[in-house]
Amino acid sequence: MQDFDNFFSAKSIAIVGVSRDSRKVGHVIFRNFVDTNYDGNVYPVNISGEEILGKKTHKSILDIKEKLDLVIIAVPAAAVFGVIEQCHKKKVSHVVMVTAGFKEEGQFELDRKLEKLLAKYKIKVIGPNCLGTFDAYSKLDSLFLPRYRLQRPKEGGISFVCQSGAVGSSVLDLATDEGYGFSKFVSYGNAMNVDEADLIEYLGKDEKTKVICLYVEGVKDGKKFMRVASEVSKKKPIIAIKGGKTAEGGKAAMSHTGAMAGSAEVYSGVFKQTGVIETNSLEEMFETAKMLEKLQKPKGSRVLVITNGGGYGILSTDAIIKNGLQMAQLSKDSIKFAKTNLPRVQPHNPIDLLGDANTEGYRNAIQMALADNNVDIILAIVLYQTPLVTTDVVDVIIEARDMKKKPLVIVSAGGEFTDVLSRSVEDNNVPAYTFPENAVRAIKHFVDYYGK
């Protein structure tokens, strides 16, 4: 078990290769630390020693007096070796190397040379050819993409380990926009001496991480991955998507990160055996992650659907059955309760509160479901377009969540008005989805994970 804390919360950091050109990688990284007023000492290093963003720079990390927890390297490939020698002299043990130009560009000799040097000096590297790391709690942010183009997510329980910088960054940006909360993000690039298994092992021990998401093109060490994934998936869910599952996709992966893609069946088998949840798309991965992040373990797979739109009740029912889940059968007590408190509603699943459902109707139906031992999971469709659904229905949802009796999942499709209310629901730890099919797909993974 390795200690990677320095990659995510180092207190003294040097950034080597910070130019004055605001579009250059080193500059962007330094600016991120300045803009977020990072709680630590950050030293820009530039061979010219000129001032950048109003801060003094050093010509070399050897000129910095303080001990360095982390060095971020953004110089060209040829200049990397000198910096590593300096890291050794400074007793630096952790490096993030965004520099490209190694094996991914056919520079195998340079690659081996660097690997040997790092082994000799016992320096752990994220990269090379990576996007870097981000920690939503410490705010350590070595991503070299400008914040106006790539938003950074708020604090939360999802950590994302991503072999592709482009997939990682764009999904991080999108997830931020949709209100997802993250703990740690790492784009590990060529995985020279820190690979996906090392990172998963570390995140398994990270208290802030509740769910681990993984985009992988090729696993570096199969046995190690299987050992680590089996252990960690018992403690917290790992959700993976494998790029290059088809023969053609595998060929593309080989020329992308030099990864030996391996057959689809082998990977699916490994994921299954190690308790890793495999998804078929990025959308499915993150929609599943937020459910696992926000909700407690369900008792079973019996779902009760509550809706103010009959069509959605039907589509949800279809999705539940197609996914091999069960439609909950209401208990006698519930039926009795419904006859008194929901007189116009037919007391069977899906419970259609009708188009003129009001907040009181939702309150009664949800309370009934929470009390019914035949119901394991509540899927409530709430369409905010009808005037009688007042915004207090959000309070009803949050109150039900606060009781923590059962997982509660919301579906609401709509425009701006709906978005505002769905975001309120999610900010209170109730996962909300736009489409019933997507919500049920996530419920299926959720139930399977805990049903193992």
Stretch that binds a copy of itself, among 47-55, 84-92, 113-121, 279-287 (CB under 8 A): 279-287
Size of the site for a copy of itself (CB under 8 A): 80
Q: How far apart are CA 403 and CA 441, in angstroms?
A: 25
- Binding to a copy of itself (CB under 8 A) within 245-264 occurs at 245-249, 252-253, 255-257
CB of 225 to a copy of itself, least distance (A): 18
Q: How far apart are CA 301 and CA 304, in angstroms?
A: 10
Of 115, 92, 91, 111, which is closest to residue 101 (Cα–Cα)?
A: 111
Interface residue with a copy of itself among 198, 201, 293, 352 (CB under 8 A) is 352
- Tokens representing 374 are 């035949």
Is 93 an interacting residue with respect to a copy of itself (CB under 8 A)? no
Is 173 an interacting residue with respect to a copy of itself (CB under 8 A)? yes
Find out whether 346 and 354 touch, Cβ atoms under 8 Å.
no
Q: What angle do CA 76, 77, 83 make, to 5 degrees?
A: 85
CB of 234 to a copy of itself, least distance (A): 28
Stretch that binds a copy of itself, among 7-15, 89-97, 228-236, 240-248 (CB under 8 A): 240-248
What is the torsion angle, in degrees rounded to the nearest 10, for the CA atoms of residue 171, residue 175, residue 181 and residue 186? 10
- Tokens representing 349 are 């699943």
Q: CA 254: distance to chain centroid? A: 25
- Identify which of residues 31 and 210 has a Cβ nearer to a copy of itself in the complex: 31
Q: Sort 121 into a burial class: Cβ within 10 Å, 0-12 / 13-18 / 19+.
A: middle
- Identify which of residues 61 and 410 has a Cβ nearer to a copy of itself in the complex: 410
Is 79 an interacting residue with respect to a copy of itself (CB under 8 A)? no
Is 169 an interacting residue with respect to a copy of itself (CB under 8 A)? yes
Q: Which helix (H) or strand (E) holds 156?
A: strand 154-162
CB of 113 to a copy of itself, least distance (A): 23
- Binding to a copy of itself (CB under 8 A) within 24-63 occurs at 28
Stretch that binds a copy of itself, among 68-76, 87-95, 173-181, 192-200 (CB under 8 A): 173-181
Binding mask 113-132 for a copy of itself (x = CB under 8 A): --------------------
Find out whether 334 and 367 touch, Cβ atoms under 8 Å.
no
- Identify which of residues 92 and 397 has a Cβ nearer to a copy of itself in the complex: 397
CB of 169 to a copy of itself, least distance (A): 5
- Identify which of residues 266 and 321 has a Cβ nearer to a copy of itself in the complex: 321
- Binding to a copy of itself (CB under 8 A) within 146-165 occurs at 146, 148-151, 162-165
- Tokens representing 315 are 């589509």
CB of 173 to a copy of itself, least distance (A): 4
Note the helical H segments in 122-221. 165-177, 196-205
CB of 340 to a copy of itself, least distance (A): 20
Stretch that binds a copy of itself, among 61-69, 81-89, 371-379, 413-421 (CB under 8 A): 413-421
Is 418 an interacting residue with respect to a copy of itself (CB under 8 A)? yes
- Identify which of residues 164 and 334 has a Cβ nearer to a copy of itself in the complex: 164
Is 217 an interacting residue with respect to a copy of itself (CB under 8 A)? yes
Strands (E) across 243-389 are located at 277-278, 302-307, 326-327, 351-352, 377-381
- Binding to a copy of itself (CB under 8 A) within 353-372 occurs at 355
Which whole-number Å values give the CA distances from 73 to 16, 35, 112, 114, 138, in the listed order?
5, 19, 18, 13, 20
Binding mask 292-331 for a copy of itself (x = CB under 8 A): ---------------xxxxxxxxx-xx-xxx----x----
Cis peptide before 347 (omega within 30 of 0): no
Is 199 an interacting residue with respect to a copy of itself (CB under 8 A)? no
CB of 321 to a copy of itself, least distance (A): 4
Which whole-number Å values give the CA distances from 403 to 53, 334, 396, in the listed order?
50, 19, 11
- Tokens representing 59 are 């010509």
Three-state DSSP at 352 gives: strand
- Identify which of residues 44 and 244 has a Cβ nearer to a copy of itself in the complex: 244
